[in-house]
Structure 1
Amino acid sequence: MAKGFDRTRRIGEQMRRDLSQAVVEILDHPNASLLSFTDVRVTRDLSFAKVFVTYVLEDEEERDYLVKRLNACAPQFRHYLAKRLSIRKMPELTFYYDESVEYGAHMEHLLTSLVEKAQDKDDDTSQES
C-alpha cells in the first residue's frame, strides 16, 4: 500500500479520537454524548474529510438535527483539531450519518428470524414422524 494512504488513515484516526473528545464541549446539546464517530476519511491532499457518526437513539428527526448541527459547527471542530494536529493543512469537515450499524443490526435480525423459522420447521417435521 502506498505510504500516503497510511498517513491519511493515521490522520483520520487521530481526528476521530479528537472529535470524540470535543463533541460535548463544542456541540451544545444534551444528547451530544450519545454521538459516536465511526470513521474519518481524509483525502490524500488533506483538503477534505468525511466524518461518519452514529447516534444511539433511534429518533430519526433528532439524528438529522444533530448531523445538521455538526455541519454548522464544522468550523469550530476544524479549529479545535488545528490546535491538536501538527499537519500543514487542516481538512474541511463534512459530517454524515453512518447507517452501517443500523444496517448490520437489521441483517442480524433477519438472519436470526430465518434460523428460528428453520428450527421451527425442523421441529414440526420431527414431531410428525
Structure 2
Amino acid sequence: MGNVYGRKDRVSSQMQKELSFILQRDIDDPRLGFVTINEVEVTRDLAVAKVYFTVLNTDEAGKRANQKCLNELAPQIRHELAKRMRLRHIAELRFHYDDSFDTGMRVAALLSEVAKDLPVEDLPEDES
C-alpha cells in the first residue's frame, strides 16, 4: 500500500514555503505587489510546478501584471529555489493567479444581500 502523503505532496509543500520566503526576502522588484503563495501543484515527475498566488489590493490589470512579472522572474526565482531545496532537478515554475479568494468574497457578498432581503421572521434564531 502506497503512502497517503507521497513525495510529490512533500515537495509541493516545501516548495510553497520556500517560494513564500524567496518572494518576501530575496526578490526586490518594484512591479510586484504583496504576493501570497496559496498552493503549489507539482507534476508527478516533478518537472513542472503550477504556483497559485494572490495579490493584495489590486484590480484585474494589476493581477495580470503581477502574473506576467512573476513568470518573467521565474528563472531567477527557480535559481534561488534550487539553492534552498535538496533536489537534483528543480521544477519549471509557472505562476497562475488564484481567483478562489475573489470567488469566495463574491459569494459571501451575494449571501449577505439575500440575508438582508429576508423578512426578520424568516431569519434563523440563535439557540442559546
The equivalences for 1:103-114 within 5 A come to 103-114=103-114
- CA positional deviation for 1:110: 0.7
Aligned equivalent of 2:27: 26
The equivalences for 1:1-129 within 5 A come to 2-3=2-3, 6-24=6-24, 25-29=26-30, 31-32=32-33, 34-119=34-119, 122=122
- CA positional deviation for 1:63: 1.6
Please say if residues 31 and 69 of structure 2, whose CA atoms lie closer than 8 Å, have aligned partners that are also in contact: no
Normalised by the length of structure 2, the TM-score is 0.84
Report the Cα distance in structure 1 between the residues aligned to 2:70 and 2:121, rounded to whole angstroms.
49
Q: Cα deviation per residue 1:64-103 (whole Å; 9 max; x = unaligned)? A: 1111010001011111111111122210000000000000
Aligned equivalent of 1:127: none
Please say if residues 71 and 95 of structure 1, whose CA atoms lie closer than 8 Å, have aligned partners that are also in contact: yes
Q: Between Structure 1 and Structure 2, whose CA radius of gyration is higher?
A: 1
Which deviates more from structure 2 when the two are superposed, residues 79-88 or residues 112-121?
112-121
- Please tell me the residue identity of whatever aligns with 1:28: D
Report the Cα distance in structure 1 between the residues aligned to 2:5 and 2:80, rounded to whole angstroms.
24
- Please tell me the residue identity of whatever aligns with 2:29: D
Moved over 6 A (4+): none
> Residues 5 and 45 (structure 1 numbering): CA distance in 2 closer, same or farther, change over 3 Å?
farther
Structure with bigger helix share is 1
User: How many correspondences in the alignment?
Assistant: 122
**Structure 2 runs not aligned, ≥5 long:** 124-128
Q: Name the SS for the 2:65 alignment partner.
A: helix
Aligned equivalent of 2:126: none
